[in-house]
Amino acid sequence: MTTAPGRAAGVLLGFLPFAVALAALAVLQPLLPPTATIVLINVGVNVVLAVSLNVVNGFTGQFSLGHAGFMAVGAYTSAKITLAFADVQLAFLPEAVSDQLVFAVALAASMAVTGLAGFVVGMPSLRLRGDYLAIVTLGFGEIIRSIIENVAWLGGALGLSGLPRRTNVVWIGISAVATVIMARRLAGSTQGRALFAIREDEVAAEAMGVDTTGYKVRAFAISAAYAGLAGALSAHLIQLATPGSYGFIRSMEVVVMVVLGGLGSITGSVIAAALLTISLEGLRGFQEYRMVVYALLLVVLMLTRPQGILGSRELWDLWRRPRPPANPPLASTGEDGNGEGAA
Amino acid sequence: MRPTRALALFAAALSLAACEKKQSPQAPQAAAAAPTASVGDVIVLGHVGSLTGNEATFGDSTDKGLQLAIEEANARGGVKGKRLELKRYDDQGKPEEAAVAATRLVVNDRASILVGEVASRRSLAMAPIADEHKVPMISPASTNPKVTMDGDRVRPYVFRVCFIDPFQGTVMARFARETLKLSRVAVLRDVGNDYSVGLADYFLTKFKELGGTIVDDQSYKAGDQDFKAQLTAMKGKKPEGIYVPGYYTDVALIARQARELGLRQPLMGGDGWDSAKLFEIGGRALDGCYYSNHYSPDDPSPRIQEFVGRYKAKFGAVPDTMAALGFDAGLIAVDAMTRATDLSGPAIRDAIAATKDYPGVTGVITLDAAHNAAKPAVVLAIQNGAARWVATVAPDASAAPAPVPAPAK
Amino acid sequence: MTELLQHLVNGLSLGTIYALIALGYTMVYGVLKLINFAHGDVYMAGGFAGYYVAGAIGAGDRPSVLKAVVVTLGAMILSGLLGLAIERAAYRPLRASPRLTALITAIGVSFLLEYGFQLQPIAWLGVPFPPGPSPRFFPDLLELGPPFELAGVSVSKIDVIGFAVAILLMLGLQFIVYRTRLGKAMRAVSFDPRVAGLMGIPVDRVIAWTFFLGSALAAAAAIISASRMPRIDPLFGLMPGLKAFVAAVLGGIGSVPGAMAGGLLLGLTEEYVAGYTVSSFRDAIAFTVLILVLLVRPQGLFGRTTVEKV
């Protein structure tokens, strides 16, 4: 099926299950109680965050603690766009369509801008190793927040309010699915292999001719772009973008999700994100204990099962047809000795 | 390959999203209309406050004031024969949590009225939810104008029982210039706090308008511990007074460090100073300082003294401003619900908007077209570790231009 | 000119605090090659330990030199014990694990301390522990009176005392590290832990002592800091901890004199930049310094470039 129309048909066919699912979501949306909708949307946002962070922390083995800073960039970019078009609508389209189109553009723009920010931040930072990278990314996150607070055009400390409520279950569904697809395709691609190589042994990878800094920066930029998407979605849920919401603590929450799910496991991140978001809602009465529980969870997890729930395996591996590995398995990697991430 | 795929996804999504009606407003409205005609014989008053975190005394005091107001109302037989119940959620000082808490109160707990928040940025997070679900919201102490105004449109369901920052900043500016006769003042604002920034700006404008000079404008972030760099820079410009419109936790330290650096000028501030902790941490460094506030517990008027006495009896402490404002917010809520034709959101909202000359503890409350209360401010002086009333400043017609009222939705 | 000198005084007193905390970071990194994220929170715990001891002996009501010493030593010992406990429970089991795991654990411990201290006080304990999120007032341990005025520069007495105590402690540490057997053992372990173990050095014990000393110094820093800026709350160690880490990196992580120099330098830089330019970027200054150092001279002022052999 390598002819153009054949391939096009193949792509469209691949879309079919998603199209059906989205249609189902669109129908379901008004029937859900509002608090359930909010929880679902938050789950989706956290899934996007966790999976995108996994690309850097899990696939590439670099430790980034500045994810919330990129959320902020995405949130503010999209906010500026939707606010600019708040009272404007495209003449030839009905209002609802015009609004959605504006939102789509806002999301795309926020991804682009944040990706660029990720590139800018990554370039100097990714020459550093492990612990230093963690602190530097944390620092950048704080610098981004500092800048936002001091710039009046971005609303300063008050932030940007009055954002239209555009996020809904459909958009979240699309975003979450897009993120997971991105991660999976990345894992199965040449870039993905390079990232895993860097994770396993950076010096050896460099010696093998892998442009480590280049790949790391690119992974960082992609991860940042999706964090920006999450930020934009979350800002248009609470209709507010404040610098205070995107601090170090938010970054840490995402780190906990990724670590809990298993560094390097996409489905692990999805499961952990869903688990933690839902239990957070359930534990709302015990708010003050939440962070203590997170912290204990982290420590206990590291002491007993540092590979998290799924390690670097994937849920969809259960359905994989067994086939002989193309290369002999690498000696000591992850859980199942299979150098390929998820194929 | 990836970008094309992503674009294709978006295109597909658009065609689907386009078929979708404007989601949020319709669904919750249908749900909200019935429940606010209260469940059984209990009316729920929802309070969103920062009960933990750096500004914990604000939320805590407000809550206590509310509790007192509700207790009194219930003792008088409740509202329309129904008992009042206070349900509170802690937002930990975060705007997102305030939004979620407000939603929970409205949807899960079926609150008929929301009270909150003290900080303007958290009130801003709550405001769209009040409007969307048509549940009236009364902010006890948010002073930033944006809380009741969305651009130049008045938010239909949001009210406040306090004055706004354009007025408060002016009060202190006039006091500094006319009473203290200062001509050179430096400003130290909390750049991470919209309240502080707003107040500083209004003060600045009025002070300059009255002929004074602003010799320096420094900033800090809430939670900073060391302010000596900023204070030293200010010292060099020789101010006669320093305006510090921040929250009590930082102001206390600023005062101490200013004195350590040899700055003996009076410090001035706003209602964010009002907390017992200010005196506990600031100690004698605060002597000779002034701040604007909503009320003073020394006011000899019988209404206030009765409130102070009852609050002391129940909670064992002298009520601070937040407690008084919480109390007034509760009273206004109860009064409005009593006057309202029924207990649906729009009816209560109309009753609140019609509040006129209500004798609150923090002053006589009349809500204007912009849903704000035009009330006098008091100026308190600090001496020997305690605040004492010095002056009352009535609302002045030139304080802020009246906004064009939007047709109620 | 007075402004310049005043900034100098401010910067030095700020810098000594960073230096004392940085020493803990650098020593632990030296022996374990681990950035102890929780160190800033051990500093915070030290401050609260001092608060509780002061409350127990009534140091706030009737201050005296003896009580001040008791409070400081008490805080140092309690903090040291906390450091020991953390090392034993969270870091020792992970000595053979990848660095990332230990790093994540350190972050977890840091959060545990920060949020654990923010819980509301347990009713049946005699003392209000955990202290809860609201800030508390740290009592004046000594009656000191108004600040000195020298040539228009205000130097508060607590700054002078704090500076003196800090110098004393740093000299003490220098003595321990370079003139005692324990110190020699610490240096040996930081050079190569496996070989040090083969040479008969009790590596576990040495590491434990390292944590004890580092944490004790952090507590001393906290007492000095709390005496100057008497507001303590569970999150007050976060920023100083991060900045002290930057100071340690600036001076060369693993180097004791480097941590001291880095701390003072960072304090002065922060003070001058905040004083003469936009003060709202104060915290960002430290991170900018870090990024610059790591890009330009990653080994810091006193560090050696390590060659990684593969």
Q: Which residues contact B10 (CB under 8 A, 6 or more apart)?
A: A104, A107, A108, A174
Using a CB-CB cut-off of 8 Å, the residues of chain C touching B233 are 3, 275-276, 279
Residue C283, CA atoms < 13 Å, CB-side half-sphere: 26
Sorted by where each starts, the structural domains of chain C and their CATH numbers stand as 2-296 (1.10.3470)
Q: Where are the domains of chain A?
A: 35-248
Query: How far is residue B3's CA from residue B7's CA, in Å, rounded to a whole number?
Result: 6
Residue to test with chain A: of C36, C287, C297, most A Cβ within 10 A? C287
**What is the rounded average pLDDT for all residues in chain B?**
82
Q: Chain A contact for C290, CB < 8 A?
A: yes
Using a CB-CB cut-off of 8 Å, the residues of chain A touching C310 are 203-204, 207
Residue B34's pLDDT band, with cuts at 50, 70 and 90, is very low
- Window C:164-223, CB contacts with B under 8 Å: none
Q: Chain B contact for A285, CB < 8 A?
A: no
3-state secondary structure of A155: coil
- Window B:17-46, CB contacts with A under 8 Å: 17-24, 26-28, 31
Q: Chain C contact for B53, CB < 8 A?
A: yes
Per-residue model confidence (pLDDT) at position B2: 65
Per-residue model confidence (pLDDT) at position B374: 83
Neighbours of A72 (CB within 10 A): 31
Query: How far is residue B402's CA from residue A263's CA, in Å, rounded to a whole number?
Result: 57
Q: Chain B contact for C230, CB < 8 A?
A: yes
Per-residue model confidence (pLDDT) at position A339: 43
Q: Chain B contact for C143, CB < 8 A?
A: no
Q: Do B121 and A96 touch (CB under 8 A)?
A: no
In chain C, what percentage of residues exceed pLDDT 70? Answer: 97
- Window B:252-291, CB contacts with C under 8 Å: 252-253, 256-257, 260-262, 277, 280-281
Start-end of H helices in B210-262 = 228-236, 248-260
Which residue does chain A place closest to C287, by CA atoms?
A: A139
B262 Ramachandran zone, left/alpha/beta (phi>0; psi -120 to 50): left
- From A19's Cα to the closest Cα of chain B, the distance in A is 8
Q: Do C105 and A303 touch (CB under 8 A)?
A: yes
Residue A323's pLDDT band, with cuts at 50, 70 and 90, is low
Calculate the dihedral angle through the C-alpha atoms of A121, A126, A127, A129, rounding to the nearest 10 degrees. Answer: 130
Q: Do A203 and C295 touch (CB under 8 A)?
A: no
Please give the structure tokens belonging to residue B276. Answer: 């017992």
- From C59's Cα to the closest Cα of chain A, the distance in A is 31
Q: Which helix (H) or strand (E) holds B386?
A: strand B386-393
Q: Do C7 and B229 touch (CB under 8 A)?
A: yes
Per-residue model confidence (pLDDT) at position B324: 92
Q: Do A165 and B128 touch (CB under 8 A)?
A: yes
- From A289's Cα to the closest Cα of chain B, the distance in A is 12
Please give the structure tokens belonging to residue B40. Answer: 């059984």
Residue bearing the bigger pLDDT, C121 or B245: B245
Do B133 and B156 meet the contact criterion of CB atoms below 8 Å apart? no
Per-residue model confidence (pLDDT) at position A279: 82
pLDDT higher than 50, residue B189: yes
Q: Which residues contact A335 (CB under 8 A, 6 or more apart)?
A: A307, A311, A312, A313
pLDDT in tens, B290-325: 999 988 888 888 888 999 999 999 988 888 889 999
Cβ density class C48-81: b for 16+ within 10 Å, e for less: bbbbbbbbebebbeebeeebbebbbbbbbbbbbe
What is the pLDDT averaged over residues B153-161?
90
Per-residue model confidence (pLDDT) at position B36: 43
pLDDT higher than 70, residue B19: no
Do B241 and B267 meet the contact criterion of CB atoms below 8 Å apart? yes
In total, the C-beta contacts within 8 angstroms joining chain A to chain C are: 114
Q: Chain C contact for B238, CB < 8 A?
A: no
- Window C:112-131, CB contacts with B under 8 Å: 118
**What is the rounded average pLDDT for all residues in chain C?**
87
Do B331 and B146 meet the contact criterion of CB atoms below 8 Å apart? no
* Amino acid making up residue A117: A
Using a CB-CB cut-off of 8 Å, the residues of chain C touching B235 are 3, 6
Per-residue model confidence (pLDDT) at position B9: 65
Residue to test with chain A: of C111, C117, C120, most A Cβ within 10 A? C111
Least confident of A307-316, B316-325, B333-342, C201-210: A307-316
In chain A, what percentage of residues exceed pLDDT 90? Answer: 22
Which residue does chain A place closest to B149, by CA atoms?
A: A162
Using a CB-CB cut-off of 8 Å, the residues of chain A touching B104 are 35, 284
pLDDT in tens, A274-318: 998 888 777 766 666 777 888 888 889 888 888 888 877 777 776
- Beta bridge partner(s), residue B159: B138
Paired sense of beta strands C231-232 and B386-393, if any: unpaired
Which residue does chain C place closest to A206, by CA atoms?
A: C310
Q: Chain A contact for B144, CB < 8 A?
A: yes
In chain C, what percentage of residues exceed pLDDT 90? Answer: 35
pLDDT in tens, C51-85: 999 988 887 777 788 888 999 999 999 999 999 99
Residue bearing the bigger pLDDT, B53 or B180: B180
Query: How far is residue A274's CA from residue A253's CA, in Å, rounded to a whole number?
Result: 13
Q: Chain A contact for B217, CB < 8 A?
A: no
Residue A107's pLDDT band, with cuts at 50, 70 and 90, is very high
pLDDT higher than 80, residue B380: yes
pLDDT in tens, B62-90: 999 999 999 999 998 888 888 899 998 88
What is the pLDDT averaged over residues C142-163?
81
Which of B24, B193, B194 shows the shortest C-beta gap to A165?
A: B24
**pTM of the entire predicted model:** 0.82
State the complex-level ipTM: 0.81
Which of B54, B223, B232 shows the shortest C-beta gap to C10?
A: B232
**What is the rounded average pLDDT for all residues in chain A?**
82
